[in-house]
Amino acid sequence: MPDHAIAHVEGVVTDPSMRFIRRREAARYLKDKYGFGASRTLVKGVVTGDTPVFHKAGRIVLYTREALDAWALAKISGPLKSSSEAAAASRRPAGPHSPPPRACRSLGVGARDREGEWSPSP
């Protein structure tokens, strides 16, 4: 097992050299190193799943710097030349139940039917 890995025995951390930091310090670390990250963002992320990997000690959420670094780097895009590139890169493909694009609605296209085909608006 690599030195930086956390060994678990029945859900208990057994690596005594692992340093955990609390939410406020984690937010300060992210802000200082990457220029973004707030305590409230981390609070919300624990609920929504958009958070660095964390551990708990009772009610207290704990992070490692390695987990914070991995999360922050995953949030940062590659080089862009315009904000429209960023918007296109962040769009997800439409699912079968997503609303039609605005251009389709203006052409009288409604929702998708059970087979996934677009049906006309009423």
Assess if residue 58 is contained within a domain. yes
Assess if residue 121 is contained within a domain. no
Assess if residue 51 is contained within a domain. yes
Assess if residue 15 is contained within a domain. yes
Q: Domain of 26?
A: 8-75
- Tell whether the model's pLDDT for residue 58 goes beyond 60: yes
- Tell whether the model's pLDDT for residue 106 goes beyond 80: no
Assess if residue 109 is contained within a domain. no
- Tell whether the model's pLDDT for residue 104 goes beyond 60: no
Assess if residue 50 is contained within a domain. yes
| Core vs surface per residue 14-44: b (16+ CB within 10 A) or e | eeeeeebbebeebbebbeeeeeebebeebee
Q: How many domains does the chain have?
A: 1
Assess if residue 36 is contained within a domain. yes
What is this structure's pTM?
A: 0.60
- Determine the average pLDDT of the residues in 9-38: 86
Assess if residue 69 is contained within a domain. yes
The residue among 65, 67, 66, 23 whose CA lies nearest residue 47 is: 23
- Determine the average pLDDT of the residues in 56-69: 94
- Determine the average pLDDT of the residues in 24-30: 97
